Amino acid sequence: MDITTDIHTLSEFKKNASKLIKQAKDTKRSIILTVNGLPAAVIQDPESYQDLIDARDRAQTVLVLRKRQSDVKKGVKLRSAEKFFSDLSKKHGVTFDDVEAE
């Protein structure tokens, strides 16, 4: 982020929306919009936003895997996927017979 070019008031954005959206797309940097001098919103190009979402999802997956790995090392008994779905099916009356693994 470049604080000299990437922070704008909401009023500026209203006047120059197309220009600022193009700037975000071209530079791949977020634009911070302020209201009364405080951050109020972020404008980001779709590809950068998708990259952010993907990175968040990967980080969450890594955290879960590390937790499960720690559980295994501690001797916590885990259920197999088959057992989990069987239990879920029994508890909620749903079936997963037609679901295929990717």
Q: How far apart are CA 34 and CA 10, in angstroms?
A: 6
Per DSSP, the three-state class of 48 is helix
Kindly indicate whether the domain formed by 7-44 is annotated with CATH number 3.30.300. Answer: no
Task: Provide the β-strand partners of residue 78.
Answer: none
Cβ neighbours of residue 68 under 8 Å, at least 6 residues apart? 78
pLDDT tens profile 32-56: 999 999 999 999 999 999 999 999 9
pTM recorded for the entire structure: 0.63
Q: Are strands 31-35 and 7-9 parallel, antiparallel or unpaired?
A: parallel
Q: Please state, for a pLDDT cut of 90, what percent of the chain lies above it.
A: 65
Give the rounded distance of the alpha carbon of 87 from its chain centre.
29
Sketch the domain layout of the chain as residue ranges. 7-44, 48-92
